[in-house]
C-alpha cells in the first residue's frame, strides 16, 4: 500500500501533467504549479491544453487529489518537488535550462525537508550545478534526486504506470529511497545510481533509439538500390535477441520534441567536454536527408514539382498525438512549397495552418487527395490504412502513393491501380501509371 505524500510539480506541460496525474492515481496529493495564467485557468476548468490518450480520464478521476496553482508558495508543504519544465535547445545545441533556474528561484522557503526531483531532461552535470545553486540560496533543507522520464507521447500514461525501469540518481541513499517509495504500486526494475549517471541514462537512451532509426533508414536506402525489402530485413535482423525488433521501422525520419533536442544536447555535451561524437553527427544528418528523400521520389515519378498538387497525409510527428514539434511533415511540406507545388494536408488532430502558410489543410483524406498528382503518407494514422481504395484512385489526378511509413501492402496498392513507392521497398514501375498528359505539359497548362 502506497504511503500518501504531497508533491509539488513545477510545470503544467505534458511531462508535468502526466507525472502529476499518475502520482495522484497512485494515491498521492499533487499540486501542479505553472506560470501561465491561461493554462492554470483551463486546467482548473477541466480542460487539457493538448491531446494525450487516457490523461483526461486520469486527471478527472483524481481531481480531488490534484490542485493547480500559479503560486509556488503553495508548494511549501510538499514532500517532493518535481521539476517538469521544458529544456529546449539553444542556438548552440546546448539545452536551455532557464526554466529550471526559474523554478529554483521560485522554490518556497520552509523548514521541512523537501526533495527536489529532476524529471526534465538536462545535460550531465546539471545536478551538481543545482546542488550548488541550492546551497548558494541557503536551501540546505532541500535534497536533490535525478529521476528522468521515459514517456512517449500517445502512450505516456501507460509508460508511467508500466515502465521498463525507474532510474533514480542521488547522492543521499535516503533521498533515493524516498523517491523510490513514491512509486510503490508499480512493479519494475529500479536503477539506483549517482546523479550524473542518471542524467546520462536518459540522454543515451534517446540517442540510441534515434541511432537505431537512422541505421534502419540507411539500410532501407541501400535496399532500394540493391533490390532488397527493408521490412523483411528489419524482421530478420530484429529477431536476433541481442538486437530486438523495437525502433527499427524505416520511414521518413524521426521527429518529436525529444529526439532532436536530446541527440543535439548529448553531441554538444560531448563537444563541450572535448570529445567529438561522430556517430551522433551522422545520426542527425541521416535523419535530415531522410525527410528530403520524399521530394526525390516524387520527382522521379512526376518530373518537376512546380504546379503539381501533392497531398501530405499526416502532420503530427507520429500517430495519436497532435504534436508538430520537429515533425517531418513540416520539412516535407515546406520543401514541396519551395519547389512550387500546391500542398494539401490532412491530419485527424494536428493543426499546421499557422506553421504551413501556403498549404491548404483539409478536413478529410478524400478532400486532400482530390485532383492530387500524388499522396504522401507521412504519419501512420490508422485512417490511412485504407488509402489504396477505388474512391481515392478516382479522386486523384494521378494515382501515385509515396508511402513514407510502409503502412500499405505494396502488392494490394498496385493491384488497386496505384503506382506505389515505400521506403526500402521496390517501387512500382512508372508505366503502371495510367496514361495522362506528360508532366511538363501539365506544368505549362
| Interface positions with ligand UDX (CB under 6 A) | 149-153, 206, 209, 213, 247-249, 251, 254-256, 258-259, 317-318
> Nearest distance from residue 302's CB to ligand UDX, in Å?
25
Nearer to ligand UDX, 114 or 321 (CB): 321
Kind plus residue range of the DSSP H or E element containing 355: none
Burial of 242 (0-12, 13-18, 19+ CB in 10 A): exposed
- Cβ distance 40 to 68 under 8 Å? yes
Rounded Cα distance between 35 and 11, Å, is: 8
Rounded Cα distance between 362 and 371, Å, is: 13
Nearer to ligand UDX, 152 or 186 (CB): 152
Could you tell me the CA-to-CA distances from 220 to 233, 293, 351 in Å, in that order? 9, 12, 30
Rounded Cα distance between 124 and 289, Å, is: 29
Nearer to ligand UDX, 73 or 245 (CB): 245
Q: What's the grid cell of residue 104?
A: 529554483
Rounded Cα distance between 444 and 109, Å, is: 71
> Nearest distance from residue 261's CB to ligand UDX, in Å?
9
> Nearest distance from residue 179's CB to ligand UDX, in Å?
18
- Cβ distance 338 to 292 under 8 Å? no
Helix then strand then coil, in percent of the chain rounded to 5, is: 40, 15, 45
Rounded Cα distance between 252 and 261, Å, is: 18
> Nearest distance from residue 23's CB to ligand UDX, in Å?
17
The residue with cell 499522396 is 375
Nearer to ligand UDX, 211 or 427 (CB): 211
> Nearest distance from residue 205's CB to ligand UDX, in Å?
7
Please identify every residue annotated as catalytic.
258
The sign of the CA dihedral 32, 78, 176, 22 is negative
> Nearest distance from residue 159's CB to ligand UDX, in Å?
7
Nearer to ligand UDX, 123 or 399 (CB): 123
Nearer to ligand UDX, 256 or 410 (CB): 256
- Cβ distance 262 to 270 under 8 Å? no
Rounded Cα distance between 118 and 166, Å, is: 13
Nearer to ligand UDX, 145 or 330 (CB): 330
> Nearest distance from residue 13's CB to ligand UDX, in Å?
13
Rounded Cα distance between 441 and 445, Å, is: 6
**Can you list the alpha helix ranges (DSSP code H) found in 273-370?**
278-302, 328-338, 365-369
Rounded Cα distance between 215 and 246, Å, is: 13
Amino acid at each position: 500500500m502506497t504511503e500518501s505524500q504531497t508533491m509539488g510539480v513545477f510545470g503544467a506541460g505534458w511531462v508535468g501533467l502526466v507525472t502529476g496525474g499518475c502520482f495522484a492515481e497512485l494515491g498521492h496529493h499533487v499540486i501542479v504549479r505553472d506560470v501561465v495564467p491561461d493554462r492554470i485557468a483551463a486546467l482548473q476548468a477541466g480542460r487539457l491544453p493538448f491531446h494525450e490518450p487516457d490523461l483526461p480520464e486520469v486527471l478527472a478521476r483524481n481531481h480531488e487529489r490534484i490542485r493547480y496553482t500559479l503560486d509556488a508558495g503553495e508548494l511549501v508543504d510538499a514532500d517532493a518537488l518535481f521539476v517538469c519544465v521544458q529544456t529546449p535547445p539553444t542556438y548552440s545545441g546546448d539545452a536551455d535550462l532557464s526554466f529550471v533556474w526559474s523554478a529554483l528561484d521560485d522554490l518556497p522557503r520552509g523548514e521541512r525537508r523537501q526533495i527536489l526531483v529532476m524529471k526534465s531532461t538536462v545535460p550531465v552535470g546539471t545536478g551538481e550545478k543545482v546542488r550548488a545553486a541550492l546551497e548558494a540560496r541557503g536551501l540546505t533543507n532541500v535534497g536533490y534526486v535525478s529521476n528522468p522520464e521515459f514517456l512517449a507521447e500517445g502512450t505516456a500514461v501507460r509508460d508511467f504506470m508500466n515502465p521498463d525501469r525507474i532510474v533514480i540518481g542521488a547522492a543521499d541513499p535516503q533521498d533515493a529511497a524516498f523517491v523510490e517509495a513514491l512509486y510503490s504500486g508499480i512493479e519494475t526494475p529500479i536503477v539506483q545510481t549517482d546523479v550524473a549517471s542518471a542524467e546520462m541514462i536518459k540522454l543515451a537512451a534517446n540517442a540510441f533509439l534515434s541511432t537505431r532509426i537512422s541505421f534502419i533508414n540507411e539500410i532501407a536506402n541501400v535496399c532500394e538500390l540493391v533490390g532488397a525489402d527493408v521490412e523483411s530485413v528489419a524482421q530478420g535482423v530484429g529477431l536476433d535477441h541481442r538486437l530486438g525488433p523495437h525502433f527499427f521501422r524505416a520511414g521518413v525520419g524521426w521527429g518529436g520534441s525529444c529526439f532532436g533536442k536530446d541527440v543535439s544536447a548529448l553531441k554538444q555535451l560531448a563537444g563541450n567536454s572535448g570529445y567529438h561524437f561522430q556517430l551522433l553527427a551522422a545520426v542527425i544528418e541521416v535523419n535530415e536527408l531522410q525527410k528530403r528523400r520524399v521530394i526525390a521520389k516524387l520527382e522521379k515519378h512526376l518530373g518537376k514539382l512546380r504546379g503539381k498538387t501533392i497531398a501530405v497525409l499526416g502532420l503530427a510527428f507520429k500517430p495519436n498525438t497532435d504534436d508538430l514539434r520537429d515533425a517531418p511533415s513540416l520539412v516535407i511540406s515546406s520543401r514541396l512549397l519551395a519547389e512550387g507545388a500546391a500542398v494539401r494536408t490532412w491530419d485527424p488532430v494536428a493543426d499546421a495552418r499557422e506553421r504551413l502558410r501556403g498549404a491548404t489543410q483539409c478536413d478529410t483524406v478524400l478532400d486532400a487527395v482530390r485532383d492530387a498528382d500524388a499522396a504522401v503518407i507521412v504519419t501512420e494514422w490508422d485512417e490511412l490504412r485504407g488509402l489504396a481504395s477505388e474512391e481515392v484512385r478516382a479522386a486523384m489526378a494521378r494515382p501515385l502513393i509515396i508511402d513514407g511509413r510502409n503502412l500499405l501492402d505494396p502488392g494490394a496498392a498496385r493491384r488497386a491501380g496505384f503506382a506505389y513507392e515505400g521506403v526500402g521497398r521496390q517501387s512500382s514501375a512508372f508505366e503502371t501509371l495510367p496514361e495522362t498528359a506528360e508532366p511538363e505539359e501539365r506544368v505549362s497548362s
